[in-house]
Structure 1
């Protein structure tokens, strides 16, 4: 029974990462496939950034209360359609980047 529970947990985390990867696809143009680019030459490199920090930033952009490097308007549009689960999935995906 433990093996089944562990397998289900791993499958769930794999699906979450896949969802994060799919949602991150719209970020690639500015941040790069592995978060290796300074978006539009302005942002920090996000590769491996702490998931909690990413969640906080994305929620700030979505709420319109964050405007780092003058990118608030652009980022608000990028995250407007993301729900909490998608934001968390993207944050976890970014945190796992190498």
Structure 2
């Protein structure tokens, strides 16, 4: 679980606004690869050291590096996404430069024990809702969320592990918007083998425009206040 969490940190850091890794993120990826190669698969704390450069010592994230907070992501979801990178279900699209970077790192994890070790270490951090960075029409967003998102992600965006729908409240709003754009544009979830990603890819096309997406995410962010 610990190595998985570390790889996930780097994977999430790879999703920037322009999908093109910059020098700092490339260095973080190189550092992560070195740590993964030198650390025990059971040493989540040591493995997380490579994540901390982008995601922070306590998983708080860094918007300047396009590295989302990890502390508001559920452990089962982190585990699934990290394995998605390892298998190639995520990060294979040619326009997803950061995803490709994370995929390369994830594939260095030798087994699921390593993945579990990193995730377990991240789970030891204190959770705190991410800071608001986007504005939108919360009332309109609430209407769209209730009609299109709430059935899976929950009325308070608390998530539903039985449906494999992660919690959204408290997650970085800028990161949610970027991932929604990826689903809408087919950059993420285009592979039918990625069952849940493919489902979200279809949902990403249901909102009428980019402003509505911001409204929905502004509403989700308000649920964490």
Q: TM > 0.5 between the two?
A: yes
SS state of the match for residue 137, structure 2?
helix
Q: Is the 8 A contact 1:30 1:40 kept in 2?
A: no
After TM superposition, where is structure 1 displaced by more than 2 Å over at least 4 residues in a row?
38-44
Scaled by the length of structure 1, the TM-score of the pair is 0.73
- In structure 2, stretches of 5+ residues that fail to align are 1-134
What is the Cα deviation at residue 75 of structure 1? 1.0
State the 1:41 CA deviation. Answer: 3.9
The answer as to 2:156 corresponding to 1:34 is yes
CA-to-aligned-CA distance 1:2-24 (integer Å, 9 cap, x gap): xxxxxxxxxxx7x8101110111
Extract unaligned runs of 5+ from structure 1: 1-12
| Paired residues, number | 84
Counterpart of 1:16 in structure 2 is 137
Higher helix proportion: 1
Is 1:96 matched with 2:217? no
> Aligned partners of 1:95, 1:48: CA distance in 2, in Å?
6
- Which structure would you say has the larger Rg? 2
Select 1:87's aligned residue among 198, 208, 213.
213
RMSD: 2.1
